[in-house]
Structure formats: C-alpha cells, structure tokens
Amino acid sequence: METQLDKVNIHVNLRSVRRIVFYRTTSGSCPVEEFLDTLSSKHARKVTWVMQLVEELEIIPVKFFKKMTGTDDLWEVRVQSGNNIFRILGFLEEDHLVILNHAFQKKTKKTLKKEIAIAETRKKDHLLRGSHYE
C-alpha cells in the first residue's frame, strides 16, 4: 500500500523532455498565453518558474508535472501559489517537446471533465495540423 511518504518521493523521469511550447489555434491565438496574461505578476512568476523546472530538471517531481490518468495521454503542469492552484494541460510530442494547450485556475479537488475535454480537443487539432515547432 502506498503511503504519504511514497507519494512525496515519486518523480517523473523524462530525460529527453527539454522544451515547452504553447499550442496555437488556426487563427494564431494562444490560449495558454492568454491565461497567463490574466495572472498577477507574482502568480505568473511562479508559473514560469515551474515551467522552467519542467524544462531543465532531469527528474521532475510529480508535485510539478504529472501524467493524468483517464485521459488521452495528457500531462499537467501543477502550480500552487499561496492559496491559488493553477493547472496547465498538454501532451508530449517527439519525446522532447511538451505542448501546453489549456490553462485554468483549479478551484475543486478533481480536475473538471470539461477542462480535460478542451485539452484533448486541442491536442487532436494540433496533431491533425502537424507540428510547427523545431
């Protein structure tokens, strides 16, 4: 049986993940950037710091980056700043890109199905249009 200590010590090891990019719609808008623009500078700095950890750490604590169960291979960047909890959802592409496509402030314990559905729809759109990242 998994204990609280085990949960603290679980890590995500994605040695090849090195770059985060944001999904863009066909019209060129960027939902994650638009969300980040709504945050206070304090919260935006914390989100940026966590994304930097995801890019730079060889072993990423699940406190910051976790594969979501029951989804179409979605991952979430997890950020807590004071009493505020933010989630940025996305997926892995070609083992070296993290494509982040949806962000929101989490207000309940469980991630809402509608938030997951948005991220999955954007993932499908991205994959249909093909990668535009180097």
For residue 17, the model assigns a pLDDT of 45
- With respect to residue 134, please indicate whether it lies within any of the assigned structural domains: no
- With respect to residue 3, please indicate whether it lies within any of the assigned structural domains: no
Domain count, the chain: 1
- With respect to residue 98, please indicate whether it lies within any of the assigned structural domains: yes
Rg of the chain's alpha carbons, rounded to an integer?
15
- With respect to residue 35, please indicate whether it lies within any of the assigned structural domains: yes
Task: Please list, in sequence order, all residues whose beta carbon lies within 8 angstroms of the beta carbon of residue 54, skipping any fewer than 6 positions away.
Answer: 17, 20, 60, 64, 65, 77, 98
Q: Is this model's pTM higher than 0.75 or not?
A: yes
Strand partners, 13: 59
For residue 109, the model assigns a pLDDT of 79
For residue 131, the model assigns a pLDDT of 66
- With respect to residue 4, please indicate whether it lies within any of the assigned structural domains: no
- With respect to residue 45, please indicate whether it lies within any of the assigned structural domains: yes
CATH of the domain at 74: 3.30.2310.20
Distance of alpha carbon 36 from alpha carbon 56, whole angstroms: 20
Task: Please list, in sequence order, all residues whose beta carbon lies within 8 angstroms of the beta carbon of residue 35, skipping any fewer than 6 positions away.
Answer: 88, 103, 104
Positions of the chain with pLDDT lower than 70, given as ranges? 1-18, 95, 131-134
Q: Which domain holds residue 19?
A: 10-129
